[in-house]
Amino acid sequence: MITAERKPLEELLGYIAPYSRILLLGCNECVTVCAAGGRKEVGLLASALKMAARKSGKELQIVEHTLERQCDPEYVEEVASMVAQADAVVSMACGCGVQQMAMRYAKPVFPALNTKFMGGSERQGVWDERCAGCGNCLLGVTGGICPIARCAKRLMNGPCGGSANGVCEITPDVPCAWHLIWERLEELGQTEDYLEIIPAKDWKTAQGGGPRKIIREDLAE
Amino acid sequence: MKSIYEYYAKWIREGKLKVSSDWNKERKVKFTIQDPCQIVRKTFGDPIADDLRYVIGKVVGEENIIEMTPNKSNNYCCGGGGGFLQSGFTEARRAYGKVKFDQIMETGADYCITGCHNCHAQVHDIGHHFGGHYSTVHIWTLICLSLGVLGPNERAYLGDDLKDVNVFHPESEH
Amino acid sequence: MQKKTKLQSNGSVLVVGGGLGGIRAALDLAEARKDVILVDKAPCIGGLMTQLDRTFPTNNCDLCTVAPFTAKDSRGGHLDMRGLTTVTAVKGKEGNFTVSLMTAPRFVNVEKCTACGECQRKYPECVSFAPGLDPRAPTCMRYPKATPYAYVIDMAKCADKEGLKQCCPVGAIETDALPKVEEAQCGSIILAAGAALFDPSHLDYFGYAAQPDVVTSLEYERILSASGPTGGKLLRPSNGQPPKKVAWIQCVGSRGLQKGAGAYCSSACCMFALKEAMVTRERFDSEIETTIFYMDMRAFGKDYEKYLNRAKEQYGVRLVHSRPHDVLRPVGMDKLQILYTVDEAPKHITEEFDMVVLSTGFKMNEDVKKLAEDLAVELYADGFPKTDCFNAVATSVPGVYVCGTLQGGKDIPETMTQASAASCLAGAKVAVTPRPKAELPAVTPECAGSPRVGVLVTLCDHESTALDTTALVEYAKSIPHVVCAAAFEAACDPSSFDAVKAAILANGVNRVVVAGSSPRYELEKYQAMLAPVGINKYLIEVANIREQAAWVHAGEPAAANAKAKQLVAMAVAGVMAAKPLADHVVPANKNALVVGGGVTGMTAALELAGQGAKVCLVEKTAELGGVARNLVKTIEGGDVQALIADLVEKTTSHPNIKVFTATEIVDHSGQVGLFRTGLSVNGAYKEIEHGATILATGATPNQPQAFLLGENSRVCTQLDLQKVVNEQPKEVKKWKNVVMIQCVGSRDADNPNCSRLCCQSSIKNALAILKENPNARIFVLYRDLRTYGRFEEYYQKARELGVIFVRYSVDNPPKVEAAGHYANVTFTDVIMGRQVVVSADCVGLSTGFVASRKSNEALAKVFGLPLTDDGYFAEMHVKLRPVDMDKAGFFVAGCAHSPKVIAENLTQARAAASRAMTVLANDTLVQEAKFAHVDRARCAACLVCVRACPFDVPQITVDDKGLGRSYIDPVKCHGCGTCAAECPAKAIQLNQFEDVQILSSLDQLLAKVNA
Amino acid sequence: MEQFEPVIVAFCCHYCAYTAADTAGSQRLSYPVGVKIVRVPCTGKVDAKHLLTAFEKGADGVLVAGCLVGDCHFKDGNVKAARRVEFTKKYLEEIGIEAERLEMVRMSAGMGREFAETATAITEKIRALGPSPVKGKNCCCGKAA
Amino acid sequence: MTANIVSITGGKQSAFIDKVKEILPQGGNLNLCLTCGACASGCPATGLADMDPRKFLRMCAMGMDEEVTTTPWVWMCTMCMRCIYVCPMEINIPQLVFNARAAWPRENRPKGIRDSCDMAMRTETNSAMGTAPDDFKFVVEDVLAEYQEAQPEFADMQAPIDKEGAYFFLNQNSREPNTEPDELVPLWKILHLAGADWTYGSKGWAAENYCLFLADNKCWEHVTRVSAKQADDLGCKVFLNTE
């Protein structure tokens, strides 16, 4: 899941300062699940923006809407009439959704969220980073724990010298990924995997090779 | 088997003993009461302690009684009883009596009224030993004082403040 | 056949006493469709508990936990509740009692009284109730929301009868009322009239009579209580200042042989004191020092030991093992002095306190004693009734049952358990009376049609002196969509209701706003009243213009009128946004499943079967009887083996009971009234259907590795010891010295709770040893001797016969070493300050019980039930619902709930049966439409609701389109709305409180009133 | 100039604070007229959206009144509500509304006096803060009476 | 510490406490102790001789007979009964102490008490100061005469001895007749003014009973019987204790 957090109100107010009719658009996928841009957050932000604007003597007209998914053109198409009646769009989707909107409509589209990472939920209200989308998954040999997404230094072969008592030297409330990997391998009786040297990572499959694209030929028209 | 306190109270109530606390109206000499364990807690309980207070109240004025705490049936033994006085454990006896001494001192009373010889002797002794300023007095002495019939020779346990009060036949002093 | 004749003997059950126990017993019976007469000599029901501030171990406020009980209109016409009523005579016998009831006049017609308080303001001297300390509570009612909700007048104190009569605006005062005498037929009687509390006035050394700052625990409770004399402020009675140090002295009037004390333990006071100390620090001032002087800290109930630990460790409540000699206040001193000593050294300690609370125990109530004597119930010398050793609620007179503190001192959960048990037995003697079939109004298209709102202003003139009802009605008419508005003053007059109904029909009203008193009183009433004219019960909104306008702003009429208008406008907005809803009707299966074939399970099964339910009794092992098979006798001398034999015979031969031994529970689904459970019977799968389930799976005798248990032949558990005494008396006769060690494997880190039964079982064994061998020396090493209730008398007996009890502390436990033929036990006697070594012929370890964690966990998983931290089944409410479980239709009894002695297990079995009968008596179950529902089109299946729900109701289910979405079972949902508030997709709404309703009300509330 | 009479929305739990308000009424313990009660089954039902909307519509202050800790009829709805109140306070600060205008209080059903006292205290506090800064000209909510 | 270890082996022997239990009604409840400490909290002798009533009882219960029958503490207890007054089990500790005193060889008991008892045994007056009937008679008559003369208002005041049929039988502590005879007079005056019909006994007038304190059962019984008999013989209705 893609996780995101709302931008400070002040930044958003800056974007929309010239406009008075706003379409505030949520997304019912990842950002709903991570409590950043679903129907509920749209409602809260609408209230907040209206009040903040009113403080400076301006009455905002905000239309609230939440799409099933903002990163698909068909869904985005649904709001054409709403966009037509708005001066600007504030999107509460992740970066993908914002771009989808911006591509489709000629009106200004502003992001309401900072898109953060691909993560999982630890428990209610807590998400942590799990995947860096490197394009060449190593989890099969690292006991199901990713040293790229979860190690600050993206080390491939064991912890750095700063790992102590199982925690990362950079962020002490984060566990050392390699410590976790070792514990997990021990638990699975696969410590021999650890001895295997993982060759230097080819970052071409990751963003290092430029923007990526997936084409499923059987599906693509 | 009766305690004489009961009769003191009865006689006063019946007017046979015409006691009066007038002598202490101005003086305001303060009294506290050592309830004898034997008579109060061990035998007759609070009713006899109440009789005792009734008598003393009539004799010295209720307002001049300052109670020790605890009192009546729950009073604290002075340490004179049970043969302690004769037992030879003087130091232990005084240690025992220290609490009682403190209780008496706490009241600030000028006199501690005792109803029994053991108490009298012990209260007197600890007062003396720990340097208390109070006197220890039998109740009968005070009854006679308040009746105005207490002669000069019957005042061995009265302090100087009461030596000359209401003296009966002062000339009989020997 | 015999059962049938009993059921046919018509009549009702008389419950004497309207405290918690009486209410529980009466509600159980009424819910099981038995007729009940509930009488109490007080004007309103509620009993002692309504005077408490908060109760242990949850430290909840009692007011709101008891209020739904007494106010809930679930009596279905079976419950005839009478205040101010006493039983004056009883004739006849079981199945056919004739009782004479005398109802003292209340001088207030309850039907008419609106509890406006006018009489009380004008004639306060007639108010007679005094709940301790203060002669008068804020109102004469015992607690603010007393049921029935009306005043009572003490006519003897009234000098101006005519004036009093005239002052009532609704003419409810009847100054000439006379006592009413009636006769009633009943099949059985439950005595639940509670107990009195010991009066410590004569104990001069505790200073209660002389010192205002020395109070009883109940008085202290009143001081803490929000409805108490100080309005919920903790203040010293002597000077009105908050105390800095408070002390409790335990066992005042209990565990004593002189000055009027009872020889028994009152069982509840230790916990009561702990609670008061904790609440003192938690709610008033954490700087207040709290000290409890105790003899034995008896935290023997379920999870009570943890509560005790919390009191000590988290709240810093100080516990001193000492009984003070005196509470003194020397002349001129502001503070109280407590004189006490400690175990470690012979010396006096004097400590100052601001308040001292005497934990006074229970005593038999003289009135109740007289009634019991009239019934020829056998009593102990102290006046408490004698009960059967296997049936704590059965008296010596058939058909007469007891429960609660009337049976002996106890706390609320045990009272509730006994009450249900008593109602089980008493209810078996009377017939089920048919209940008129509940016609559920359908949700018709009209009620959902275009909104036509009717506004009913129902305040009486006297309630609304500050309000201009005419103006209010005119205002209401001006609100859009309001098609009619009217005030009708005599809201209590049935004829005026008819006028209202006519107006509603004439105007085609489909939504109603009632402007009157709190919805807490009005809503149910109007829902019932307006159903016949087709108003959906969920399209009625109440504007609380009495409490929130007329009364609270009585002094500012302009503001009160404006606010009343606003409240009406808000209610109209709310009702406009409301949706018509239908209640749920669930058809009920009337069979029961009992899991566990020990004495508890068998007893529960037999009670249910006796009342006509078909029962499946499932036992994991090949044999019935459970752990009790290891026991010989109870401490009272009851023959356990005979009990088991009798139960097994009855259970296996009862036509309504099917026993499955060597059977495990495999799977489970469904809901209350309609459960399906899969069994593995000797390996073969079988599915059964049932409406209710009782868990009676017991617990496991503990076998900790300690004190050479299992290593040295001289060391054994109390269970083993009992066997030896029973089977090898010759061996026992040779014994010279025996040592017993308590709390082995209980009250420690691994098993933090008290096993409750070990203290009495050691004493039982000690007495049995001495019976064989009076010369044996027996030492019992204990931490706190927890012989609660009448077990205390056996503790006394054991001491009398020379058993020596020695306290040990966890920091300095005894040591057991092998020493040739003997086992040497070394321990410290703190009082002497010496070590003692005993060469013991036998060392008996009180190893207690542990939860059958593994099997409980497996069952909990299959059934979806919660367990406590230490692996026992968790009941719904530790205080008020001790046998009900969180999941409707599930009940727990016996050691599966927590360890306890046989008699208590059997009581709980009967209680669970009684509670189960309240489910099984119904052909259908009606569930209110108070649940959350999911808009599946909006749901993002994010799991927030699944995680947020306090009752684990929402589930992500796959629909026929293969879409995984949240589903909230309307039957299981408790209606709190937490999920609705947290749902990030706004896909969940709570019926009756939908966002649109709340937001519309808000809109209205914040709109300017054009007045 | 007339004294400013703050409008305060009080979301009250049916089981405790709402009953406490009833108790205040029956004991004639007066509190300011500007305090308006919205009944909820549990403070756990009170949504951040309700709180913001109350301010948006012109409330000067908002009170969430739930049960004492440990007393919630639904286990911990009051605890969840308290967290939501904290969250909303941060939002308010971003908007430029003083966080003190929003408050969570706890009481039991019997605490009629506490209800009246709390309602009075919060009214005084809001009165000192002045009208809500987001009360716009277009908003029609002025004085209650 | 080792020296202090209490070792319990073998069969039960009859202990001191068992013997005392046999004497007392209900065994004085001596076995019932809950070790709550109320007695020790209120006993004025707590801490003397490193003892308190609870500890004393405990040691008795543990069969430590030698220590309990030799501790001087029993002579420091005044048997004031503050212990039993509050004891939840109403345990008769004072009687236990009394019997522990009795367990001492008579010659080892405190000399002061013993002498006083012996003295009382020597004379029928019961006087611990050994005052003989004639001496008492002399003192009383002498003092009375002196006051009748010096204080004429009391000329007909009486202080009878052995007056048959008197309503009250009065006892009198030996201290006054022996050491401070003037202190006798206030009581006489009170009785006179109240018009009480009273008498001393030539036998058994002494109010003190050191034999009781000595725990000499035979002697204190004797002493008590002498007084009671004299009162009975004289036909008195009320035995009036003056202290």
Q: What is the pTM of this model?
A: 0.77
What pLDDT is attached to residue C78?
79
In a domain? residue C438:
no
- Residue D94 has its nearest CB partner, among A8, A54, A59, at A8
Neighbours of C863 (CB within 10 A): 19
What gap in Å lies between CA C43 and CA C28, rounded to an integer?
22
- Asked if chain E contacts chain B via 3 or more Cβ pairs within 8 Å, the reply is yes
What pLDDT is attached to residue C718?
96
C782-838, pLDDT tens digit by residue? 999 999 999 999 999 999 999 999 999 999 999 999 999 999 999 999 999 999 999
What pLDDT is attached to residue D141?
42
D59 contact C CB<8A? yes
Q: Are residues C351 and C381 in the same domain?
A: no
In a domain? residue C836:
yes
In a domain? residue C65:
yes
Question: Taking 80 as the threshold, does the pLDDT of residue C437 lie above it?
Answer: no
C180-191 and C400-402: which strand pairing?
Answer: parallel
What pLDDT is attached to residue C269?
96
What pLDDT is attached to residue C178?
85
Q: Do D52 and A52 touch (CB under 8 A)?
A: no
Q: Do D56 and A50 touch (CB under 8 A)?
A: yes
Cα distance between the two ends of chain E: 47
- Residue E31 has its nearest CB partner, among C342, C802, C839, at C802
Q: Do C257 and E51 touch (CB under 8 A)?
A: no
| H or E segment to which residue D130 belongs | none
CATH number at D8-129: 3.40.50.960
- Residue A9 has its nearest CB partner, among D47, D94, D138, at D94
In a domain? residue C925:
no
Determine phi and psi for A66, rounding to 5 degrees: -130, 125
What pLDDT is attached to residue C52?
59
Q: Are residues C772 and C783 in the same domain?
A: yes
Q: Do C974 and D67 touch (CB under 8 A)?
A: no
B7 contact E CB<8A? yes
Whole-angstrom Cα Rg for chain A = 22
Cβ contacts (< 8 Å) between C331 and chain B: which residues?
Answer: 66-67, 69, 106-107
C751-792, pLDDT tens digit by residue? 999 999 999 999 999 999 999 999 999 999 999 999 999 999
E56-80, pLDDT tens digit by residue? 999 999 999 999 999 999 999 999 9
Distance from CA of C152 to the nearest CA of A (A): 52
Is cis: bond before E186, omega within 30 of 0? Answer: no
Which among E74, E171, E64 is positioned nearest to E126, based on CA atoms?
Answer: E171
| Across C893-919, average pLDDT | 96
SS (H, E, C) C949-995: CCCCCCEEEECCCCCEEEECCCCCCCCCCHHHHHCCCCCEEECCCCH
What pLDDT is attached to residue C416?
93
Which residue segments constitute the domains of chain E, with CATH numbers given? 13-104 (1.10.1060.10), 111-240 (no CATH)
The chains in contact with chain E, meaning 3 or more Cβ pairs closer than 8 Å, are B, C
Q: Do C328 and B46 touch (CB under 8 A)?
A: no
C9-63, pLDDT tens digit by residue? 357 999 999 888 998 898 899 888 888 998 988 776 666 555 555 555 444 444 4
Dihedral over alpha carbons C216, C218, C219, C224 (to 10 degrees): 130
Give me the domain span that covers residue B151. Answer: 4-172
Q: Do B69 and C205 touch (CB under 8 A)?
A: no
C61 contact D CB<8A? yes
In B, minimum Cα distance to C347 occurs at: B96
Q: Which two tokens stand for residue C639?
A: 């023959």
Please tell me the total count of domains within chain C. Answer: 7
Question: Taking 80 as the threshold, does the pLDDT of residue E126 lie above it?
Answer: yes
Q: Do E45 and B96 touch (CB under 8 A)?
A: yes
Q: Do A48 and D96 touch (CB under 8 A)?
A: no
Instruction: Give me the interface pTM, i.e. the ipTM.
Output: 0.73
Classify D116 as helix, strand or coil: helix
Determine phi and psi for C846, rounding to 5 degrees: -85, 95
- Residue E46 has its nearest CB partner, among C324, C348, C799, at C348
Q: Do E85 and B39 touch (CB under 8 A)?
A: no
Inter-residue contact C467 to C562 (CB < 8 Å): no
3-state helix, strand, coil in chain D (%, to 5): 45, 15, 40
Handedness of CA E32, E36, E38, E44 (dihedral sign): positive
In C, minimum Cα distance to D113 occurs at: C231
- Residue B87 has its nearest CB partner, among E85, E112, E185, at E112
C838-871, pLDDT tens digit by residue? 999 999 999 999 999 999 999 988 897 888 888 9
Q: Are residues C559 and C498 in the same domain?
A: yes
- Residue A40 has its nearest CB partner, among D49, D94, D138, at D49
Classify E96 as helix, strand or coil: helix
Low pLDDT (below 50) residues in chain A: none
Concatenated DSSP letters of C524-588? HHHHHHHGGGT--GGGEEEEETIIIIIITTTT-HHHHHHHHHHHHHHHHHHHHH------EEEE-
Give E 139-198 residues with CB within 8 A of chain B.
147, 150-151, 153-154, 173, 175, 180, 182-183, 185-187, 189-190, 193-196
C858 contact D CB<8A? no
Chains A and D: how many Cβ contacts under 8 Å?
Answer: 44
Q: Are residues C287 and C301 in the same domain?
A: yes
Cβ contacts (< 8 Å) between C328 and chain B: which residues?
Answer: 69-70
Q: What is the CATH number of the domain that holds B130?
A: 3.40.50
Better-predicted residue by pLDDT, E228 or C1? E228
Question: Taking 90 as the threshold, does the pLDDT of residue C402 lie above it?
Answer: yes
Question: Taking 50 as the threshold, does the pLDDT of residue D1 lie above it?
Answer: no
What pLDDT is attached to residue C142?
35
- Residue C1008 has its nearest CB partner, among D73, D74, D141, at D141
- CATH 3.40.250.10 holds for A2-116: no
What pLDDT is attached to residue C463?
60
| Across C649-669, average pLDDT | 95
Distance from CA of C730 to the nearest CA of B (A): 49
Q: Are residues C283 and C356 in the same domain?
A: yes
- Residue B82 has its nearest CB partner, among E85, E207, E213, at E213
Q: What angle do CA E156, E159, E165 make, to 5 degrees?
A: 105
C528-563, pLDDT tens digit by residue? 778 888 889 899 999 999 889 988 887 888 999 999
C68-79, pLDDT tens digit by residue? 444 434 345 677
In a domain? residue C131:
yes
Question: Taking 70 as the threshold, does the pLDDT of residue C7 lie above it?
Answer: no
C439-459, pLDDT tens digit by residue? 555 666 555 578 899 999 987
Position C364: which residue type?
Answer: M
| Across C919-935, average pLDDT | 86
Q: Which two tokens stand for residue C549?
A: 């306008």
Question: Taking 70 as the threshold, does the pLDDT of residue C276 lie above it?
Answer: yes
**Best E153, E197, E241 residue to mutate vs chain B (most B CBs within 10 Å):** E241
E146-160, pLDDT tens digit by residue? 999 999 999 999 999
What pLDDT is attached to residue C888?
84
C198-246, pLDDT tens digit by residue? 999 999 999 999 999 999 999 998 888 766 777 778 999 999 999 999 9
Q: Do D47 and A40 touch (CB under 8 A)?
A: yes
E183-196, pLDDT tens digit by residue? 999 999 999 999 99
C116-153, pLDDT tens digit by residue? 667 777 787 775 433 322 222 322 233 343 444 456 77
What gap in Å lies between CA C427 and CA C613, rounded to an integer?
14
- Residue A44 has its nearest CB partner, among D48, D96, D133, at D48
Give me the domain span that covers residue C492. Answer: 445-581
Q: What is the CATH number of the domain that holds C662?
A: 3.50.50.60
Cβ contacts (< 8 Å) between A123 and chain D: which residues?
Answer: none
What gap in Å lies between CA C988 and CA C980, rounded to an integer?
5
What pLDDT is attached to residue C489?
60
What is the residue extent of each domain of chain A?
2-116, 132-207
What gap in Å lies between CA D14 and CA D9, rounded to an integer?
15
- Asked if chain D contacts chain B via 3 or more Cβ pairs within 8 Å, the reply is no
SS (H, E, C) C920-954: HCCCEEEECCCCEEECCCCCCCCCHHHHHCCCCCC
Chain C interface, Cβ < 8 Å to B: 204-205, 326, 328-331
Low pLDDT (below 50) residues in chain B: none
Concatenated DSSP letters of C306-334? HHHHIIIIIS--EEEE---SEEE--TT-S
Question: Taking 50 as the threshold, does the pLDDT of residue C272 lie above it?
Answer: yes
